[in-house]
Amino acid sequence: MSTLQNIQGNAACAAGAIAAGCRFYAGYPITPSSEIAEQMAARLPKVGGTFIQMEDELGSMAATVGASLGGVKAMTATSGPGFSLKQENLGYAAMTETPCVIVNVMRGGPSTGLPTRPAQADIMQARWGTHGDHPIIVLAPHTVREIFEETIRAFNLAEALRVPVVVLYDETIGHLVETVDLTPPQPEDIVTRTFASGPAEDYLPYAAGEDMIPAFPRPGDGYRTHTTGLTHDERGFPTQDPQKVDAFMKRLLGKLERHAKMIEKTESVEVDDAQVLIVTMGTPARAAKTAIRQLRDEGIRAGLLRPVTLWPFPEAALRAAAKGKRAVLVPEMNAGQLILEVQRVLGGAAPVSGLNVFNGEPIAPQQIAQAVKELVK
């Protein structure tokens, strides 16, 4: 049977989730993400899973984390206003190290903004949306096929590292239909969290080994642990002891760095000989690829670095790619968010300029080509 199908980005996201082993979805309808909920509502009962439409996004995030606390792979999806509402309980997932996947199909903001138009204005919210220092992974696919792949990878990372993972893409790709191969991954490519095993006596739920990831105590397995959003010690109970707090926070924040290799992912297109480096993600990256071809036809050498894992930001890859470039261009569908990180990482090593579109229209290849031409003038 051919696995080639014409499928919409949001549907590919649902397909990826099911393939990754997701068996619980709690959501609240919001354009342009609702198709994910509709797909999950149809697909989950067939595979023995559960779909529930909650009363709001606070509740849907809570239920998602609740299901994962029960040991089941869980996901929720939303868009701007709903993403804001999910933040508190997303922080709870980060604090309690509960694996979960949150999809944010970005639309124009602020507030109700442009419900049906694309934007990329949640780049910083995805990283810093919930209060307090916290670990989070954000993946930024740019094609329908990649939405499928990255949703699977989101589950794998969430489960492996006990961290919330955000899949972040804009309305354009969410609603885009492409012909793609959705061959499900091999079973060995699916990651499920390590459940605690061994004696329950003296068991410490938040004591981690070298890998900094504690095994997950599944309710019913006899560990009877405590889970709290309060800062806790290795036993899982609240502590304010500065030493314990420090050790806990260092592990919580440090675990992603420890596993940076597993997390990091970028795509480079014709970077080596480029005069101008374009750094962008999502839909504008598609435009950038077209622009690069046009520019090269005209003898202007441009290249693209695309963070597929957006957060933690691929700092080393960017530094390497930007080396010796005349200029760096950051096209994005917002008033300038990704550029802040690019400037921070490059610290003046190359001149960085932005191309910002926030009128609800995607960025066109010509706009990028034009901007590059300005830079090499």
Partner 1 sequence: MNEIKVTSADEFDIRDWLRTDLMPHFMCPGCGHGIALRALLWACHELGIGKDRLAVVSGIGCSGRTGAYIDANTFHTTHGRPLAFATGLKLARPDLTVIVISGDGDSLAIGGNHLIHACRRNLDMTLVLLNNEVYGMTGGQVSPTTSAERFTTTTPAGNMEPVFDACKLAEGAGASFVGREATLQTPALKDLFKAAIAHKGFSLTEVISDCTEIFGRKNALGSSPEMVLKQKKVMIPAHTDNRVPEPFKPHPFETGVFVRQERPEYGEVYEALRARVREKGK
Partner 2 sequence: MSGKAKNANGDGVTSVLVVGVGGQGVIMVSKVLATLCQEHGLEVKQSEVHGMAKRGGAVFSHVRFGRQVHSPVIPAGEADVLVALEWAEGLRWLHYLNPETGVFISDVRKIIPPFACRDRGRGVMPHYARSTPRDVLEKVSVGYAMDATDTAARLGNERAANTVLLGIMSTTLPFSENAWLETIERFVPPKTREVNRAAFLAGREWVKDATVPQGEVLPQVEVDPALPQARNVWDINPAWCKGCDICVKFCPERCLKLDAEGKAVMVKPELCTGCRLCEMLCPDFAIRLSKEIPEKVSS
Residue 224 or 250 having the CB closest to partner 1: 224
How far is 151 from 75, CA to CA, in rounded Å?
A: 10
Burial class (CB in 10 A: 0-12, 13-18, 19+), 295: buried
Query: Nearest approach, Cβ of 156 to partner 1 (angstroms)?
Result: 19
Q: Which of 211, 241, 246, 298 binds partner 2 (CB under 8 A)?
A: 241
Nearest to 317 by CA among 302, 305, 326, 301: 305
DSSP state of 204: -
Q: Please choose, out of 87-95, 131-139, 142-150, 341-349, the segment that lies near partner 1 by the rule CB under 8 A.
A: 87-95
* Residue matched to tokens 């390590």: 194
Residue 195 or 237 having the CB closest to partner 1: 237
Tell whether residue 234 is a contact of partner 1 (CB under 8 A).
no
Contacts of 186 (CB under 8 A, 6+ apart): none
Question: In which region does residue 179 sit, left (phi positive, over 0), alpha (psi from -120 to 50) or beta (all else)?
Answer: beta
How far is 6 from 41, CA to CA, in rounded Å?
A: 20
How far is 219 from 202, CA to CA, in rounded Å?
A: 17
Beta-strand relationship, 177-181 and 4-8 = antiparallel
Tell whether residue 195 is a contact of partner 2 (CB under 8 A).
no
Tell whether residue 233 is a contact of partner 2 (CB under 8 A).
yes
Q: Which of 5, 31, 192, 227 binds partner 1 (CB under 8 A)?
A: 227
When CB distances are held under 5 to 8 angstroms depending on the partner's kind, the choice from partner 1, partner 2, none that residue 239 binds is: partner 2
Query: Nearest approach, Cβ of 215 to partner 1 (angstroms)?
Result: 15
How far is 149 from 17, CA to CA, in rounded Å?
A: 9
Tell whether residue 56 is a contact of partner 1 (CB under 8 A).
yes
Tell whether residue 197 is a contact of partner 1 (CB under 8 A).
no
Positions 5 through 24 that interact with partner 1 (CB under 8 A): 23-24
Binding residues for partner 1, rule: CB under 8 A, are 23-24, 26, 45-46, 48, 50, 52, 54-56, 58-60, 62-72, 74, 88-89, 92, 219-230, 237-238
Binding residues for partner 2, rule: CB under 8 A, are 233, 237-241
